């Protein structure tokens, strides 16, 4: 791709002002898969992982989502090693609030001291003085949410983080958090095949809060050869995955998809979704098929 193509690709998804402070291209990159199996340990090909990160920035991605629990620590470290010093417009979001006792295992820990400790580690690994968006990875049922969020508020007051986000929350939990602090983003599971967080997305739309869908490419049977996603993809000379991302971008102006991959070629394929334009009828047909 030429530089011009890359610039066009970056702009094609439109922009969103995260927290009213950071304008980001709406199609970002999720850095979960640049780790080992089970999101644990080192990647099989560290050089390819670095190339993926560098290529994402070349393609115009200026919003990268990670977490201290990815690896743990591996994803953040690779980002710092591969991309620092960062472009002026690059926004890095990370998360804290989960422990990793082993591959595929995730244990909530919302203890304020733990969250602060994890923030310090993220700052070191990412080589940042202040994290643009710091997200509570999960609300820990063993710790009052106001205590966990209080730790994040203190980190913001200390200048170590700028914006606060939440992950896997209900509308009621979002409102409760907002009684304590402004919330810039919500990251919930959402895709064409699973729209159980529709009410949360609608509340984010109402308030202008960034909605970051994780697991954005889970399409189930919709992508089968005779399914509606595959049919629409053929009409656009695109892949079902590209159409699924295009549908997310068309669904809402606050939507910030962060498809992840450990392959440069797969990254480039995903980014082409930003150039696809779906008609209102196609969007409605896919939504109807998705249930």
- Dihedral class, residue 191 (left if φ above 0, else alpha if ψ from -120 to 50, else beta): beta
Longest dimension (CA), the chain: 55
Phi-psi region of 60 (alpha: psi -120 to 50; beta: other; left: phi over 0): left
β partners of residue 185:
165, 210
Check 70, 86, 114, 190 and give the catalytic one: 70
CB atoms within 10 A of CB 129: 8
How far apart CA 70 and CA 189 sit, in angstroms, is: 17
Strand partners, 29: 64
Residue 205 class from Cβ within 10 Å (0-12 exposed, 13-18 middle, 19+ buried)? middle
Of 191, 196, 194, nearest to 169 (Cα)?
196
190 included as an active-site residue: no
Assigned token pair, 113: 């001291």
> What's CA 266's distance to the chain center, in Å?
17
Q: What share of the chain is helix, strand, coil (3-state, %, to 5)?
A: 45, 20, 40
Three-class SS of residue 36? coil
Assign 3-class secondary structure to 158-178.
CCCEEEEEEECCCHHHHHHHH
Radius of gyration of the chain (CA): 18
As annotated, the active-site residues are 70
């Amino acid at each position: 791709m030429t530089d011009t193509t890359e610039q066009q690709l970056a702009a094609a998804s439109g922009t969103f002002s995260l927290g009213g402070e950071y304008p980001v291209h709406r199609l970002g990159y999720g850095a979960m898969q640049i780790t080992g199996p089970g999101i644990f340990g080192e990647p099989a090909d560290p050089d390819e992982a670095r190339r993926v990160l560098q290529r994402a920035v070349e393609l115009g991605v200026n919003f990268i989502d990670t977490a201290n629990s990815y690896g743990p620590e591996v994803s953040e470290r690779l980002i710092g090693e591969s991309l620092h010093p960062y472009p002026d417009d690059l926004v890095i979001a990370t998360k804290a609030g989960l422990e990793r006792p082993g591959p595929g295992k995730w244990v909530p820990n919302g203890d304020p001291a733990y969250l602060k400790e994890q923030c310090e580690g993220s700052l070191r690994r990412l080589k940042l003085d202040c994290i643009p968006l710091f997200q509570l990875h999960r609300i820990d049922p063993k710790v009052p949410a106001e205590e966990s969020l209080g730790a994040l508020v203190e980190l913001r007051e200390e200048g170590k983080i700028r914006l606060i986000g939440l992950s896997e929350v209900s509308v009621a939990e979002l409102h409760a958090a907002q009684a304590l602090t402004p919330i810039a983003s919500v990251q919930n599971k959402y895709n064409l095949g699973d729209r159980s967080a529709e009410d949360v997305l609608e509340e984010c739309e109402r308030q202008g809060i960034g909605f970051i869908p994780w697991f954005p490419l889970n399409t189930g049977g919709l992508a089968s050869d005779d399914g509606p996603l595959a049919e629409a993809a053929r009409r656009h000379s695109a892949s079902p995955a590209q159409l699924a991302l295009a549908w997310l971008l068309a669904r809402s102006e606050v939507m910030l998809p962060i498809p992840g991959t450990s392959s440069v070629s797969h990254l480039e394929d995903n980014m082409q979704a930003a150039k696809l334009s779906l008609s209102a009828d196609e969007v409605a047909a896919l939504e109807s098929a998705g249930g």
